Structure formats: C-alpha cells, structure tokens
Chains A and B, each alone.
Chain A
Amino acid sequence: MIAVVDYGVGNLFSLGCSFSAIGAEAVVTGDRDVIRSADRIVLPGVGAFRDAAEKLRASGLAEVVTDEAERGKPLLGICLGMQLLFERSYEFGEHNGLGLIAGSVRPISEVIPPNLKIPHIGWNPLIFVKPSRLFRYIADGDCVYFVHSYYAADCGDAVTAEAEYGAPLTAAVEQGNIFGCQFHPEKSGEVGLNILRAFCEVKAV
C-alpha cells in the first residue's frame, strides 16, 4: 500500500486517481500509523515552502516521513514535496526542509534569462543525467509537466534528470530509497503514470 501524505497542502484527488489508474493501492492519509504501515510513501505539495514545511512539522508527519525514509522505505517527493526533501529553501527568507538529501532550493530567476516567464510552466523534455529506477519505463526526451518558480540547487550527485529552461533545472533526484520529481507525474500523461509505475516497483533497502 502507498501512503500519499495529506498534511493540508493542496489537492490530492488527481494523485490518488493516478495510482488507481495503474492498479496500485494508494491511500491519501494524514494518519501516522497508516503512513508507518505503508510499503512506500509519496510526499506531495503545492504552494509556499515555509507554509508547507510548518504544516508538515505541526502535524507531526515530518518526523514520521523522515523516520520511515531513514529506515529505507521508498519515498517519492513531488513538486514542493521534492523541494521539502532538501536541507533548506531560500523562498521568501531561509527555511529548513527535511534534510534527507543535501542541497538547497533557490529561485529559478537566479539562473534563467530575464526574458523567460516565471513560473516555469508547461511540458518540457526530461534530459537524463544518470540512470534512475524511476526511468525504467520512460525514455530520455520524454516530456513531463512542470509548474514551479524554485528549483533544487547544489544537489549534484542526486540529480538524475534536468529540464532546459534557459538553464538546466533539476527535474528529478534519487538517493538510495529517496526520490523526487520537480514535475507532476500525475499530470504528465502516460509518461507520468510510467514513472509512478516504476516507483511502485522500487524495493525497500
């Protein structure tokens, strides 16, 4: 069973549906025991980093997610959920993330040319940087759907794919049992479903 962590940030209806569509059993939940008993965990998120980080901590779920990830349970952070995996974010100040992967989250405006629109929104091809278990059923150059204004920086070793938007932006990361997608697999058509399918097959360490 997959636990999609519900900590009051964003709408998880589509994400739940996307797992049903690939025949995986997913529960959208804020219950610690359910998350602890799950085989794998998905950490979603939209909106502002600070607000999401605070809600995740206040609900006590930050601790559960961190514990389970450190125990080797497969964890997938999506969009802001991926950004929360890092040590800190510089979105409106400086805020601590879960620190599961080394790196920080910075505004894309620091690296892209000023004529490009922010947020980076739309379908952009994935450029594979190194192999990832998430890419088992997709190909280099497949398009996925992005909506974000911040990106994961200084996370060199963990980066598995980038997207080109005036600069290479971190699109996907993998470190041990911990995975992250800056894009929305649940909104990326068949390619996105294939990424979720691959995540469902990742073995715990």
Chain B
Amino acid sequence: MITKRIIPCLDVRDGRVVKGVNFSGLSDVASPVELAKRYSAGGADELVFYDITASAEGRSLFTDILTETAKSVFIPLTVGGGINSLADFDRVLKCGADKVSVNSGAIRDPSLVGKAAKVYGSQCVVISADVKRVGGEFRIFAKGGRVDTGMEAIEWIGRCVDSGAGEVVVNSMDTDGVKNGFDLELLMRVCGAVTVPVIASGGAGRIEDFLELFRRIPEVDAGLAASIFHYGEVEIRELKRRMAEDGIPVRL
C-alpha cells in the first residue's frame, strides 16, 4: 500500500535556507545541503527546494547547491522558483532535480505545463498553487503570493492538470504560517476536482495537524511544511511514528 509522504520544504535565497511567516519577515535557518542530508537521514520522503533568489548570481549558486545535494541525498527532489521556460526545466533537471514545480511561470504562460509534460513527462511537472480566499472564493496568487490574479483556484488547478501537471502542491496563504492546521476546506475542494496526487501545504504547527489532515482527507498524498521542521518543533521520525500508530500508511 502506498504510503503518505512527509515533505520538508527548503526556501533558498543566496545559498541559504530561509522561511517566511505569511511570506514576509524572512530569517536565515541553515545550509541547504546540510539540512537536506539531515532530513533525508531523519525520514523525509521527499524534499522541495524553492529558489527565491532574484539575481543571476543567486541562481547559479542555487544550481550548485542542487548538484551538491543530489550527490549525497537519494530521495526524490522537487525544485521550484523562477521556472518560466523549458530552459529552466532543463537547467534544474540536469543538476539532479526529479520534479519541477511551476507557479507564476504557469500563470504567465499557460502553455508551459503542457509543453513541459510533453518533453519531460507528467510525472516531472508539479503545479504549485498559492491560494487565498478573496470575496468568498478561492483565488490564485502569483509572484510569491503578492499578486491576486483574479482567477478562481479550483478551476485553474483543474486546467493545469488537464494540460499535463502530474502533481499539485496546494499552498493555502490563509493558513500558512498560522500553525493552526492545514486548510482542509480548500484541500477537500482540490481533491474532489483532480485525480493526480495532492500535496497539502500551509498551516501545520504540530503533529496532530498532519494526523487530522490524513484522517479527514484520505485522498491527500503528502503533507509539506518548512519552519516547524527547520526549528525542530516537529521531528519527522516522531511524526511518522505517530502516523503509523494512527493506522496511516507511512514509511518508517
């Protein structure tokens, strides 16, 4: 039986891991390569590296980090941030990424997901959606959550999956950083609309939040979080032990 995945997310800027609370107030945490090794040894099922660098210098620093990580970490590695073209897919896949996560790039160029799925296969293309409630509906936000696109989220995610996205990361901006649990309402809506794996992101503050997520929405495939893992508030081994105790299939 397929197990539920626990995925730490590392936001990387200028070669260091950072984590924002509600997408602002970034603070340095650790070396990405060291953190990736620690998570892999500690039971993480997959890693997400998010490049939040804007400069070309930072970008090449990021691919160096990716290469270093791929040399010593042998679990699936998803890379996102600044993916706007097939050339960007190529750049990170060559450095050891297994999947590429597209966010603003897919909003700017709606054909990107389809083109990438054709060249690299759907299993390689992850759509990452920043979602926030606006006026009673779920909206897609672009540029790291700064710009309201005006597009309805569930429909947009559905379109990306139809175009060939093989996995969806749903990041609720309403619950992100609040540490009071995942956005179950949003996640249920997404799970009802797509048939590809769904990764829940935003809002985990403690072990019980993950248990509630997988109990309430068995269709969710994975839980993603950042700061609670970086700061040791939730330890992955302990989390997975508790999931197993609860009867949730998990890799121990």
Contacts and interface: CB of A to CB of B under 8 A. Distances in A.
Interface in B64-115: 67, 70-72, 74-76, 93-96, 98
Nearest to B72: A21
A13 B74 contact: no
A117 interface: yes
Interface in A15-74: 17-18, 20-21, 46-48
A53 to B, nearest CB: 16
B96 A14 contact: yes
**SS class of chain B's interface: helix, strand, loop or mixed?**
loop
Interface stretch (B1-9, B142-150, B152-160): B1-9
B71 A17 contact: yes
A120 B2 contact: yes
Given A47-B121, A122-B45, A187-B98, 12 more contacts: A14-B70, A17-B96, A18-B74, A21-B72, A117-B195, A119-B122, A119-B166, A121-B221, A123-B2, A187-B74, A189-B40, A192-B74
B40 A13 contact: no
Nearest to A185: B74
Contacts, number: 81
A122 B221 contact: yes
Nearest to A114: B195
Contact of A147 (B71, B74, B123, B222): B123
Interface of A: 11, 13-14, 17-18, 20-21, 46-48, 117-125, 143, 145, 147, 164-165, 186-190, 192-193
Contacts of A11: 93-94, 96
A117 B75 CA distance: 21
11 contacts: A13-B94, A14-B74, A17-B96, A47-B120, A117-B195, A117-B197, A119-B122, A121-B221, A122-B2, A125-B251, A189-B74
